[in-house]
Structures are given as structure tokens and as C-alpha cells.
Structure 1
């Protein structure tokens, strides 16, 4: 149970949520570009592969570092009394929600374009 508590304290799950939500947003934007702007389809496949490859790296990075007012600092060098992981976690969650709302907005745009173009 100690490992789970440490994962929560270091915001690993919130970073994962933000990563997935932002990747979803990027893929939706690229999908619009492929469908309506004539971008080559390999760009979309490349972005999917890159997102999958970089996910474990993002998780390791979020385990090793903490966001502080001074910037990114190695987690072991942050004093527990000066840690702002709770505030950072709230910000990560808000950003993830914004990304999901962006995806919803892009899907509404897609439906509108489909109805308009026919």
C-alpha cells in the first residue's frame, strides 16, 4: 500500500491522465488536418506511435522530478515541508479537464463541418 500512496503523492496518476487527455487532443487536431486540410495520413500514425513510445518516459520523468516554484527539481532534493504536490495535482487535473473539453469542442466542430460540407 505504501507504493500506491507514493504514486498518488507524486501525482503519477494525474500526469498519466493529463498525458492521455493532451495526446487525445493532439490526435483530434491531426485527424481534422488529415480529413479536411489534406495532410498526409502518415502524420497521424506517426503521432500515435510517438505518443505510445513517450508515455513511459513521461511516467518516469514524473516519478523523478517535481514541479516547484523554482522549476523542475529532482524529487529527492525537495524538502517534504516545501513540497507543493497537492497544488500541482490540482493544476494537472484542471489541464486534463481543459484538454477533454477541447476534444469535445473539436468533435462538435467536426460534426458541424460534416453537416456543412455534406
Structure 2
């Protein structure tokens, strides 16, 4: 099953694929105030208990995006995995979230 949350912003897409109890969301482009909610919706389809966010193609990540990650970590306690791009990793390090257990290499 695919959940496509491509919005009007041509610099963003979040495409989710559900396999069993896990959704994997591949995100590209800019995650900001105008796109963060679309990311959240793509990562929280019905009847899943875990999520992987592939953010390796994300080029911009702001405080709204950070807030969305925190919401997702609360939604999926102990089962969220985040694969960051270098830019995302830098933002999370600066914000003090670089050592979170959900943040993968």
C-alpha cells in the first residue's frame, strides 16, 4: 500500500509504503512549516505500530520538522527509526537531538 502525501510544494514529497505493521516513508526536498503535517500524515496511516523515515534526500529541515519528529517518536515509542541526510543530522545535532535512540546512521 502506498500513501502519497505530495502537496502543492514542488520541493517536497513524502511517500509511505506499508508492509505488515511498519510504514516506511521516503521523504524528499524541504520539510518546513508548510510540509511537516503532510510528513506526519504519511507516517501515521491506520493499523501500523512502527515507522521508518528515510530523510536521506531531505535538503531543508526546520523547527516544524523537528516538532514532527518528536510527535512521531511519541506516536511510535521505541519503534521509530529515522535515517537522516547530512543536513538533517546537523540540524538535529545543533538542536540537542543528535543522540536520540530513533536516529540511525
Asked whether the two chains share a fold, i.e. TM above 0.5, the reply is no
Structure showing the higher helix proportion among its residues: 1
Looking at secondary structure, tell me which structure has more strand per residue: 2
Query: How high is the TM-score relative to the length of structure 1?
Result: 0.22
Question: Looking at CA atoms only, which structure, 1 or 2, has the larger radius of gyration?
Answer: 1
